[in-house]
Structure 1
Amino acid sequence: MKKFDIMTPIGILLGVIVILLAVFSNSGPSGFIFFIQIASVLIVIGGLVSAIIITFSLAELKLVPKVLGEAFRTESHDLENLIDTFVNLSTKARREGLLALEAGLDEVKDPFIKKGVLLAVDGIEPDVIKDIMMAEVVAMEERHRKGRAIIEKAGEYAPAWGMIGTLVGLVLMLQNLNDPATLGPNMAVALLTTLYGTVLANLVFLPMATKLGNKTDEEVFIKQIIIEGVIGVQSGQNPKVLQEKLSAFSVVNKKAKYEEDVLGEENVAS
Protein backbone atom coordinates (compact mmCIF):
# COMPACT_ATOMS: atom_id res chain seq x y z
CA MET A 1 0.00 0.00 0.00
CA LYS A 2 1.36 3.38 -1.00
CA LYS A 3 1.54 6.16 1.56
CA PHE A 4 2.44 9.83 1.49
CA ASP A 5 6.22 10.25 1.65
CA ILE A 6 6.82 13.11 4.05
CA MET A 7 10.57 13.14 3.40
CA THR A 8 10.26 14.76 -0.05
CA PRO A 9 8.43 17.92 1.07
CA ILE A 10 10.56 18.08 4.23
CA GLY A 11 13.73 18.02 2.15
CA ILE A 12 12.49 20.73 -0.22
CA LEU A 13 11.22 22.89 2.64
CA LEU A 14 14.48 22.48 4.54
CA GLY A 15 16.47 23.57 1.50
CA VAL A 16 14.30 26.66 1.05
CA ILE A 17 14.60 27.52 4.75
CA VAL A 18 18.40 27.23 4.65
CA ILE A 19 18.57 29.60 1.67
CA LEU A 20 16.21 32.08 3.32
CA LEU A 21 18.17 31.98 6.56
CA ALA A 22 21.37 32.66 4.65
CA VAL A 23 19.72 35.70 3.05
CA PHE A 24 18.24 36.85 6.36
CA SER A 25 21.52 36.55 8.26
CA ASN A 26 23.28 38.89 5.86
CA SER A 27 20.67 41.43 4.86
CA GLY A 28 17.75 41.13 7.28
CA PRO A 29 14.07 40.84 6.34
CA SER A 30 14.35 43.63 3.75
CA GLY A 31 16.89 41.53 1.83
CA PHE A 32 14.23 39.06 0.72
CA ILE A 33 12.76 41.52 -1.76
CA PHE A 34 16.04 41.67 -3.67
CA PHE A 35 15.83 37.92 -4.34
CA ILE A 36 12.43 38.20 -6.01
CA GLN A 37 12.86 38.99 -9.69
CA ILE A 38 9.90 38.37 -12.01
CA ALA A 39 12.01 38.62 -15.16
CA SER A 40 14.33 35.89 -13.87
CA VAL A 41 11.40 33.65 -13.02
CA LEU A 42 9.91 34.11 -16.48
CA ILE A 43 13.19 33.28 -18.20
CA VAL A 44 13.90 30.13 -16.16
CA ILE A 45 10.38 28.72 -15.92
CA GLY A 46 9.32 29.78 -19.41
CA GLY A 47 12.49 28.50 -21.02
CA LEU A 48 12.39 25.28 -19.02
CA VAL A 49 8.79 24.52 -19.97
CA SER A 50 9.46 25.35 -23.63
CA ALA A 51 12.48 23.05 -23.75
CA ILE A 52 10.56 20.20 -22.11
CA ILE A 53 7.69 20.61 -24.58
CA ILE A 54 10.12 20.44 -27.50
CA THR A 55 11.94 17.40 -26.09
CA PHE A 56 8.99 15.15 -25.25
CA SER A 57 5.77 14.12 -26.96
CA LEU A 58 2.33 15.05 -25.68
CA ALA A 59 1.73 11.48 -24.49
CA GLU A 60 4.93 11.60 -22.44
CA LEU A 61 4.13 15.02 -21.02
CA LYS A 62 0.81 13.70 -19.72
CA LEU A 63 2.84 11.45 -17.41
CA VAL A 64 4.38 14.41 -15.58
CA PRO A 65 1.68 14.81 -12.86
CA LYS A 66 1.76 11.07 -12.14
CA VAL A 67 5.57 10.94 -12.10
CA LEU A 68 5.80 13.94 -9.77
CA GLY A 69 3.18 12.37 -7.54
CA GLU A 70 5.29 9.21 -7.22
CA ALA A 71 8.08 11.29 -5.70
CA PHE A 72 5.68 12.15 -2.86
CA ARG A 73 4.53 8.57 -2.26
CA THR A 74 6.28 5.61 -0.72
CA GLU A 75 5.51 1.91 -0.58
CA SER A 76 6.89 -0.40 2.08
CA HIS A 77 7.64 -3.99 1.13
CA ASP A 78 7.41 -6.65 3.81
CA LEU A 79 9.98 -9.19 2.61
CA GLU A 80 9.29 -11.59 5.48
CA ASN A 81 5.59 -11.65 4.65
CA LEU A 82 6.40 -12.13 0.96
CA ILE A 83 8.66 -15.08 1.76
CA ASP A 84 5.98 -16.60 4.02
CA THR A 85 3.50 -16.33 1.15
CA PHE A 86 5.67 -18.45 -1.12
CA VAL A 87 6.46 -20.94 1.65
CA ASN A 88 2.73 -21.43 2.15
CA LEU A 89 2.15 -21.76 -1.59
CA SER A 90 4.96 -24.28 -1.87
CA THR A 91 3.62 -26.31 1.05
CA LYS A 92 0.14 -26.39 -0.45
CA ALA A 93 1.45 -27.27 -3.91
CA ARG A 94 3.43 -30.23 -2.54
CA ARG A 95 0.45 -31.51 -0.54
CA GLU A 96 -2.41 -30.90 -2.94
CA GLY A 97 -0.78 -30.24 -6.31
CA LEU A 98 -0.30 -27.07 -8.35
CA LEU A 99 -3.94 -26.97 -9.44
CA ALA A 100 -4.98 -26.41 -5.82
CA LEU A 101 -3.17 -23.06 -5.78
CA GLU A 102 -5.66 -21.42 -8.11
CA ALA A 103 -8.46 -21.64 -5.55
CA GLY A 104 -6.52 -19.63 -2.96
CA LEU A 105 -5.34 -16.81 -5.21
CA ASP A 106 -8.13 -14.51 -4.08
CA GLU A 107 -6.18 -13.99 -0.86
CA VAL A 108 -3.10 -12.85 -2.78
CA LYS A 109 -3.21 -9.09 -3.41
CA ASP A 110 -0.14 -8.70 -5.61
CA PRO A 111 -1.17 -9.12 -9.29
CA PHE A 112 2.40 -10.03 -10.23
CA ILE A 113 2.33 -13.00 -7.86
CA LYS A 114 -1.08 -14.03 -9.18
CA LYS A 115 0.16 -13.93 -12.74
CA GLY A 116 3.19 -16.07 -11.91
CA VAL A 117 1.18 -18.65 -9.98
CA LEU A 118 -1.40 -18.92 -12.77
CA LEU A 119 1.40 -19.52 -15.26
CA ALA A 120 2.73 -22.25 -12.99
CA VAL A 121 -0.72 -23.80 -12.62
CA ASP A 122 -1.06 -23.88 -16.41
CA GLY A 123 2.00 -26.13 -16.53
CA ILE A 124 4.29 -23.73 -18.37
CA GLU A 125 7.99 -24.52 -18.19
CA PRO A 126 10.03 -22.61 -15.56
CA ASP A 127 12.28 -20.96 -18.16
CA VAL A 128 9.26 -19.72 -20.07
CA ILE A 129 7.62 -18.42 -16.89
CA LYS A 130 10.81 -16.56 -16.02
CA ASP A 131 11.03 -15.06 -19.51
CA ILE A 132 7.41 -13.91 -19.42
CA MET A 133 7.68 -12.34 -15.99
CA MET A 134 11.07 -10.75 -16.69
CA ALA A 135 9.59 -9.21 -19.84
CA GLU A 136 7.02 -7.48 -17.63
CA VAL A 137 9.79 -6.28 -15.31
CA VAL A 138 11.74 -4.86 -18.27
CA ALA A 139 8.59 -3.13 -19.55
CA MET A 140 8.02 -1.63 -16.09
CA GLU A 141 11.60 -0.36 -15.97
CA GLU A 142 11.17 1.26 -19.38
CA ARG A 143 7.93 2.96 -18.33
CA HIS A 144 9.59 4.30 -15.21
CA ARG A 145 12.65 5.39 -17.19
CA LYS A 146 10.53 7.40 -19.62
CA GLY A 147 8.68 9.13 -16.82
CA ARG A 148 11.88 9.80 -14.89
CA ALA A 149 13.60 11.13 -18.02
CA ILE A 150 11.34 14.20 -17.99
CA ILE A 151 12.41 15.08 -14.46
CA GLU A 152 16.06 14.41 -15.26
CA LYS A 153 15.91 16.64 -18.34
CA ALA A 154 14.28 19.38 -16.30
CA GLY A 155 17.25 19.11 -13.94
CA GLU A 156 19.61 19.53 -16.91
CA TYR A 157 17.71 22.38 -18.56
CA ALA A 158 17.09 24.52 -15.45
CA PRO A 159 20.73 25.58 -14.88
CA ALA A 160 21.18 26.12 -18.62
CA TRP A 161 18.25 28.52 -18.72
CA GLY A 162 19.66 30.19 -15.65
CA MET A 163 22.83 30.87 -17.63
CA ILE A 164 20.79 32.16 -20.56
CA GLY A 165 19.08 34.59 -18.20
CA THR A 166 22.48 35.65 -16.93
CA LEU A 167 23.59 36.44 -20.47
CA VAL A 168 20.40 38.40 -21.10
CA GLY A 169 20.95 40.44 -17.94
CA LEU A 170 24.59 41.14 -18.82
CA VAL A 171 23.68 42.26 -22.35
CA LEU A 172 21.04 44.62 -20.96
CA MET A 173 23.51 45.94 -18.41
CA LEU A 174 26.22 46.59 -21.01
CA GLN A 175 23.76 48.40 -23.26
CA ASN A 176 22.85 50.81 -20.48
CA LEU A 177 26.16 51.56 -18.80
CA ASN A 178 25.47 55.27 -19.13
CA ASP A 179 22.33 54.91 -17.00
CA PRO A 180 23.33 53.90 -13.44
CA ALA A 181 19.69 53.38 -12.47
CA THR A 182 19.41 50.31 -14.76
CA LEU A 183 22.60 48.60 -13.65
CA GLY A 184 21.14 47.13 -10.46
CA PRO A 185 17.97 45.61 -12.00
CA ASN A 186 19.87 44.19 -14.97
CA MET A 187 22.55 42.71 -12.73
CA ALA A 188 19.79 41.17 -10.58
CA VAL A 189 18.35 39.48 -13.65
CA ALA A 190 21.82 38.25 -14.57
CA LEU A 191 22.55 36.68 -11.19
CA LEU A 192 19.14 35.56 -9.98
CA THR A 193 18.32 33.51 -13.08
CA THR A 194 21.41 31.41 -12.41
CA LEU A 195 20.36 31.08 -8.77
CA TYR A 196 16.80 30.06 -9.66
CA GLY A 197 17.91 27.52 -12.25
CA THR A 198 20.53 25.96 -9.99
CA VAL A 199 18.20 25.73 -7.00
CA LEU A 200 15.43 24.14 -9.07
CA ALA A 201 17.83 21.57 -10.50
CA ASN A 202 19.65 20.61 -7.31
CA LEU A 203 16.85 20.96 -4.78
CA VAL A 204 13.86 19.70 -6.74
CA PHE A 205 14.39 17.94 -10.08
CA LEU A 206 17.61 15.95 -9.67
CA PRO A 207 16.84 14.70 -6.12
CA MET A 208 13.36 13.66 -7.27
CA ALA A 209 14.79 11.83 -10.29
CA THR A 210 17.26 9.99 -8.06
CA LYS A 211 14.50 9.06 -5.64
CA LEU A 212 12.34 7.71 -8.46
CA GLY A 213 15.29 5.68 -9.73
CA ASN A 214 15.82 4.18 -6.27
CA LYS A 215 12.15 3.27 -6.07
CA THR A 216 12.36 1.52 -9.44
CA ASP A 217 15.41 -0.46 -8.30
CA GLU A 218 13.58 -1.55 -5.16
CA GLU A 219 10.51 -2.61 -7.14
CA VAL A 220 12.66 -4.62 -9.55
CA PHE A 221 14.34 -6.30 -6.58
CA ILE A 222 10.96 -7.31 -5.12
CA LYS A 223 9.79 -8.67 -8.48
CA GLN A 224 12.97 -10.72 -8.79
CA ILE A 225 12.15 -12.33 -5.44
CA ILE A 226 8.63 -13.04 -6.68
CA ILE A 227 9.95 -14.66 -9.86
CA GLU A 228 12.30 -16.90 -7.87
CA GLY A 229 9.44 -17.78 -5.55
CA VAL A 230 7.12 -18.72 -8.41
CA ILE A 231 9.82 -20.86 -10.05
CA GLY A 232 10.45 -22.57 -6.71
CA VAL A 233 6.76 -23.33 -6.24
CA GLN A 234 6.37 -24.54 -9.83
CA SER A 235 9.39 -26.86 -9.61
CA GLY A 236 8.20 -28.36 -6.34
CA GLN A 237 11.06 -27.15 -4.17
CA ASN A 238 10.99 -28.08 -0.52
CA PRO A 239 9.37 -25.20 1.43
CA LYS A 240 12.35 -24.99 3.79
CA VAL A 241 14.78 -24.83 0.89
CA LEU A 242 12.67 -22.19 -0.82
CA GLN A 243 12.52 -20.16 2.39
CA GLU A 244 16.29 -20.23 2.75
CA LYS A 245 16.73 -19.27 -0.90
CA LEU A 246 14.37 -16.31 -0.71
CA SER A 247 15.73 -15.26 2.69
CA ALA A 248 19.09 -14.77 1.00
CA PHE A 249 17.52 -11.90 -0.97
CA SER A 250 16.37 -10.33 2.29
CA VAL A 251 19.90 -10.58 3.72
CA VAL A 252 21.39 -9.01 0.60
CA ASN A 253 18.84 -6.19 0.73
CA LYS A 254 19.55 -5.47 4.41
CA LYS A 255 23.30 -5.55 3.78
CA ALA A 256 22.98 -3.14 0.85
CA LYS A 257 20.90 -0.73 2.96
CA TYR A 258 23.36 -1.00 5.85
CA GLU A 259 26.34 -0.28 3.59
CA GLU A 260 24.47 2.63 2.03
CA ASP A 261 23.71 4.13 5.45
CA VAL A 262 27.26 3.61 6.73
CA LEU A 263 28.87 5.03 3.60
CA GLY A 264 26.47 7.97 3.72
CA GLU A 265 27.40 8.73 7.33
CA GLU A 266 31.12 8.43 6.52
CA ASN A 267 30.76 10.81 3.59
CA VAL A 268 28.93 13.32 5.77
CA ALA A 269 31.57 13.01 8.48
CA SER A 270 34.41 13.51 5.99
Structure 2
Amino acid sequence: MTTLLHPLCALVAVAALLYKIGPLRRAPRDPALWTLCAVHGFSALSFTLSTPAVWVAVDRLTGVPNSAALLAQSCVMGLIVAQWALFDRMLLPPARARRNMLRHLLVLCGVVAALAVLFVRLSSSGEQFSTVTPGGRRPYSTEEVARSITLTGVPISASYIWLLRKGHRDNPTLRHVEALAQFFGVPPTYFFDSGTESEVTGDLRLMAALKDAGVQAIALRASGLSAKSLDSITEVIQRVRELEGLSEYPDEPCEG
Protein backbone atom coordinates (compact mmCIF):
# COMPACT_ATOMS: atom_id res chain seq x y z
CA MET A 1 0.00 0.00 0.00
CA THR A 2 2.76 2.44 0.93
CA THR A 3 4.47 1.81 -2.43
CA LEU A 4 1.53 3.59 -4.09
CA LEU A 5 0.08 5.85 -1.40
CA HIS A 6 3.25 7.66 -0.37
CA PRO A 7 4.40 8.56 -3.92
CA LEU A 8 0.86 9.74 -4.73
CA CYS A 9 0.72 11.97 -1.65
CA ALA A 10 4.20 13.29 -2.46
CA LEU A 11 3.08 14.20 -6.00
CA VAL A 12 0.03 16.02 -4.64
CA ALA A 13 2.21 18.00 -2.21
CA VAL A 14 4.70 18.89 -4.97
CA ALA A 15 1.84 20.00 -7.24
CA ALA A 16 0.49 22.21 -4.45
CA LEU A 17 3.95 23.69 -3.90
CA LEU A 18 4.42 24.44 -7.61
CA TYR A 19 0.96 26.02 -7.70
CA LYS A 20 2.07 28.53 -5.06
CA ILE A 21 5.32 29.46 -6.80
CA GLY A 22 3.55 31.98 -9.05
CA PRO A 23 1.90 33.94 -6.21
CA LEU A 24 5.16 33.80 -4.26
CA ARG A 25 7.02 35.43 -7.16
CA ARG A 26 4.43 38.20 -7.29
CA ALA A 27 4.57 38.74 -3.53
CA PRO A 28 8.03 37.59 -2.39
CA ARG A 29 7.72 39.39 0.95
CA ASP A 30 4.48 37.73 2.00
CA PRO A 31 5.36 35.62 5.09
CA ALA A 32 2.07 33.70 4.90
CA LEU A 33 2.90 32.47 1.39
CA TRP A 34 6.39 31.41 2.48
CA THR A 35 4.88 29.53 5.41
CA LEU A 36 2.33 27.80 3.15
CA CYS A 37 5.12 26.77 0.77
CA ALA A 38 7.03 25.34 3.74
CA VAL A 39 3.96 23.27 4.65
CA HIS A 40 3.79 21.80 1.13
CA GLY A 41 7.56 21.34 0.96
CA PHE A 42 7.87 19.43 4.24
CA SER A 43 4.84 17.34 3.31
CA ALA A 44 6.39 16.39 -0.04
CA LEU A 45 9.72 15.51 1.57
CA SER A 46 8.17 13.38 4.32
CA PHE A 47 6.07 11.34 1.89
CA THR A 48 8.97 11.00 -0.56
CA LEU A 49 11.36 9.73 2.12
CA SER A 50 8.70 7.29 3.37
CA THR A 51 8.39 5.66 -0.06
CA PRO A 52 10.08 2.21 0.21
CA ALA A 53 12.26 2.67 -2.90
CA VAL A 54 13.52 6.06 -1.71
CA TRP A 55 13.91 4.79 1.86
CA VAL A 56 16.18 1.94 0.77
CA ALA A 57 18.13 4.23 -1.61
CA VAL A 58 18.80 6.79 1.16
CA ASP A 59 19.94 4.07 3.57
CA ARG A 60 22.26 2.66 0.91
CA LEU A 61 23.61 6.12 0.07
CA THR A 62 24.32 7.07 3.68
CA GLY A 63 25.40 3.57 4.74
CA VAL A 64 23.33 4.01 7.93
CA PRO A 65 20.26 1.75 8.28
CA ASN A 66 17.02 3.68 8.89
CA SER A 67 18.63 7.08 8.30
CA ALA A 68 15.68 7.81 5.99
CA ALA A 69 13.38 7.29 8.99
CA LEU A 70 15.16 10.04 10.92
CA LEU A 71 14.95 12.41 7.95
CA ALA A 72 11.28 11.59 7.32
CA GLN A 73 10.28 12.13 10.95
CA SER A 74 12.25 15.39 11.04
CA CYS A 75 10.28 16.55 7.99
CA VAL A 76 7.04 15.61 9.75
CA MET A 77 8.04 17.80 12.69
CA GLY A 78 8.93 20.58 10.25
CA LEU A 79 5.47 20.19 8.70
CA ILE A 80 3.78 20.52 12.11
CA VAL A 81 5.78 23.64 12.98
CA ALA A 82 5.00 25.18 9.57
CA GLN A 83 1.28 24.51 10.14
CA TRP A 84 1.47 26.20 13.55
CA ALA A 85 3.16 29.20 11.97
CA LEU A 86 0.55 29.33 9.20
CA PHE A 87 -2.29 29.38 11.72
CA ASP A 88 -0.51 32.14 13.64
CA ARG A 89 -0.20 34.20 10.44
CA MET A 90 -3.92 33.78 9.80
CA LEU A 91 -5.21 34.43 13.34
CA LEU A 92 -2.71 36.65 15.17
CA PRO A 93 -1.26 40.15 14.69
CA PRO A 94 1.97 40.13 12.63
CA ALA A 95 4.23 41.05 15.56
CA ARG A 96 2.89 38.27 17.76
CA ALA A 97 3.03 35.78 14.88
CA ARG A 98 6.74 36.58 14.41
CA ARG A 99 7.45 36.00 18.10
CA ASN A 100 5.60 32.70 18.03
CA MET A 101 7.53 31.69 14.92
CA LEU A 102 10.82 32.02 16.80
CA ARG A 103 9.47 29.82 19.59
CA HIS A 104 8.23 27.27 17.04
CA LEU A 105 11.69 27.14 15.45
CA LEU A 106 13.32 26.53 18.84
CA VAL A 107 10.84 23.72 19.50
CA LEU A 108 11.62 22.22 16.09
CA CYS A 109 15.37 22.28 16.74
CA GLY A 110 14.90 20.67 20.14
CA VAL A 111 12.63 17.92 18.86
CA VAL A 112 14.91 17.11 15.91
CA ALA A 113 17.89 16.95 18.27
CA ALA A 114 15.95 14.59 20.55
CA LEU A 115 15.01 12.43 17.56
CA ALA A 116 18.66 12.24 16.54
CA VAL A 117 19.73 11.15 20.04
CA LEU A 118 16.95 8.56 20.19
CA PHE A 119 17.88 7.32 16.72
CA VAL A 120 21.52 6.79 17.74
CA ARG A 121 20.53 4.97 20.94
CA LEU A 122 18.02 2.70 19.19
CA SER A 123 20.44 1.99 16.34
CA SER A 124 23.08 0.77 18.77
CA SER A 125 20.69 -1.42 20.78
CA GLY A 126 18.04 -2.40 18.22
CA GLU A 127 17.16 -5.85 16.88
CA GLN A 128 19.70 -6.98 14.30
CA PHE A 129 20.35 -10.08 12.21
CA SER A 130 23.97 -10.85 12.97
CA THR A 131 24.33 -14.26 11.30
CA VAL A 132 23.88 -13.11 7.71
CA THR A 133 25.75 -9.87 7.15
CA PRO A 134 27.30 -8.59 3.91
CA GLY A 135 30.99 -7.81 4.16
CA GLY A 136 31.94 -4.27 5.05
CA ARG A 137 28.70 -3.25 6.78
CA ARG A 138 26.83 -3.59 10.07
CA PRO A 139 24.19 -6.31 10.58
CA TYR A 140 20.75 -5.88 9.05
CA SER A 141 18.18 -4.18 11.27
CA THR A 142 14.59 -5.41 11.47
CA GLU A 143 13.36 -2.19 9.85
CA GLU A 144 15.86 -2.54 7.01
CA VAL A 145 14.76 -6.11 6.30
CA ALA A 146 11.11 -5.04 6.25
CA ARG A 147 11.77 -2.15 3.87
CA SER A 148 13.84 -4.24 1.48
CA ILE A 149 11.25 -7.03 1.33
CA THR A 150 8.41 -4.54 0.87
CA LEU A 151 10.34 -3.09 -2.06
CA THR A 152 10.16 -6.48 -3.81
CA GLY A 153 6.35 -6.31 -3.79
CA VAL A 154 5.67 -8.29 -0.59
CA PRO A 155 4.42 -5.82 2.06
CA ILE A 156 5.68 -6.63 5.56
CA SER A 157 6.25 -4.45 8.61
CA ALA A 158 9.23 -4.33 10.95
CA SER A 159 6.91 -4.91 13.91
CA TYR A 160 5.58 -8.10 12.32
CA ILE A 161 9.11 -9.41 11.70
CA TRP A 162 9.96 -8.60 15.31
CA LEU A 163 6.90 -10.57 16.50
CA LEU A 164 7.97 -13.53 14.34
CA ARG A 165 11.49 -13.45 15.77
CA LYS A 166 10.19 -13.34 19.35
CA GLY A 167 7.68 -16.14 18.75
CA HIS A 168 4.63 -13.94 19.35
CA ARG A 169 3.46 -14.77 15.81
CA ASP A 170 3.87 -18.33 14.56
CA ASN A 171 1.77 -18.59 11.41
CA PRO A 172 3.29 -16.39 8.67
CA THR A 173 1.90 -16.49 5.15
CA LEU A 174 3.69 -18.44 2.44
CA ARG A 175 4.57 -15.17 0.66
CA HIS A 176 6.25 -13.82 3.78
CA VAL A 177 8.19 -17.03 4.36
CA GLU A 178 9.41 -17.12 0.76
CA ALA A 179 10.32 -13.41 0.82
CA LEU A 180 12.29 -13.78 4.06
CA ALA A 181 14.05 -16.86 2.74
CA GLN A 182 14.97 -15.09 -0.48
CA PHE A 183 16.28 -12.03 1.37
CA PHE A 184 18.58 -14.07 3.61
CA GLY A 185 19.53 -16.62 0.95
CA VAL A 186 18.20 -19.66 2.80
CA PRO A 187 15.61 -22.31 1.78
CA PRO A 188 12.05 -21.70 3.07
CA THR A 189 12.28 -24.95 5.07
CA TYR A 190 14.95 -23.25 7.22
CA PHE A 191 12.13 -21.66 9.26
CA PHE A 192 10.29 -24.94 9.93
CA ASP A 193 12.63 -27.93 9.61
CA SER A 194 15.06 -28.26 12.52
CA GLY A 195 17.40 -30.41 10.43
CA THR A 196 17.58 -27.79 7.68
CA GLU A 197 17.97 -25.05 10.29
CA SER A 198 20.97 -26.77 11.90
CA GLU A 199 22.63 -27.43 8.57
CA VAL A 200 22.10 -23.92 7.20
CA THR A 201 23.04 -22.27 10.50
CA GLY A 202 26.30 -24.20 10.49
CA ASP A 203 27.02 -23.05 6.94
CA LEU A 204 26.18 -19.45 7.85
CA ARG A 205 28.46 -19.57 10.88
CA LEU A 206 31.25 -20.87 8.71
CA MET A 207 30.75 -18.14 6.10
CA ALA A 208 30.61 -15.46 8.79
CA ALA A 209 33.80 -16.75 10.41
CA LEU A 210 35.64 -16.96 7.09
CA LYS A 211 35.12 -13.23 6.56
CA ASP A 212 37.82 -12.75 9.20
CA ALA A 213 41.22 -12.56 7.51
CA GLY A 214 42.88 -14.27 10.48
CA VAL A 215 40.47 -17.20 10.32
CA GLN A 216 41.10 -17.49 6.57
CA ALA A 217 44.86 -17.64 7.17
CA ILE A 218 44.47 -20.46 9.74
CA ALA A 219 42.12 -22.40 7.45
CA LEU A 220 44.47 -22.12 4.49
CA ARG A 221 47.48 -23.24 6.50
CA ALA A 222 45.52 -26.20 7.91
CA SER A 223 44.67 -27.46 4.42
CA GLY A 224 46.34 -30.80 3.64
CA LEU A 225 47.14 -31.73 7.24
CA SER A 226 46.29 -35.18 8.55
CA ALA A 227 43.13 -35.84 10.57
CA LYS A 228 45.23 -36.33 13.70
CA SER A 229 46.96 -32.99 13.22
CA LEU A 230 43.62 -31.26 12.61
CA ASP A 231 42.25 -32.75 15.83
CA SER A 232 45.26 -31.41 17.72
CA ILE A 233 44.78 -27.93 16.24
CA THR A 234 41.08 -28.03 17.14
CA GLU A 235 41.90 -28.92 20.74
CA VAL A 236 44.39 -26.06 20.98
CA ILE A 237 41.90 -23.54 19.53
CA GLN A 238 39.18 -24.77 21.88
CA ARG A 239 41.51 -24.41 24.85
CA VAL A 240 42.43 -20.85 23.84
CA ARG A 241 38.74 -19.97 23.48
CA GLU A 242 38.09 -21.28 26.97
CA LEU A 243 40.98 -19.24 28.37
CA GLU A 244 39.56 -16.09 26.73
CA GLY A 245 36.07 -16.82 28.05
CA LEU A 246 34.61 -17.47 24.61
CA SER A 247 31.88 -20.00 23.77
CA GLU A 248 32.52 -23.11 21.70
CA TYR A 249 31.00 -21.47 18.62
CA PRO A 250 31.18 -17.71 17.85
CA ASP A 251 27.40 -17.15 17.74
CA GLU A 252 26.66 -18.86 21.05
CA PRO A 253 26.49 -16.85 24.29
CA CYS A 254 29.51 -16.93 26.53
CA GLU A 255 29.25 -18.62 29.90
CA GLY A 256 29.19 -16.50 33.01
TM-score normalised to structure 1 length = 0.28
Q: Between Structure 1 and Structure 2, which shows a larger proportion of helix residues?
A: 1
TM-score normalised to structure 2 length = 0.30
Higher relative contact order (CA 8 A, sep 6+): 1
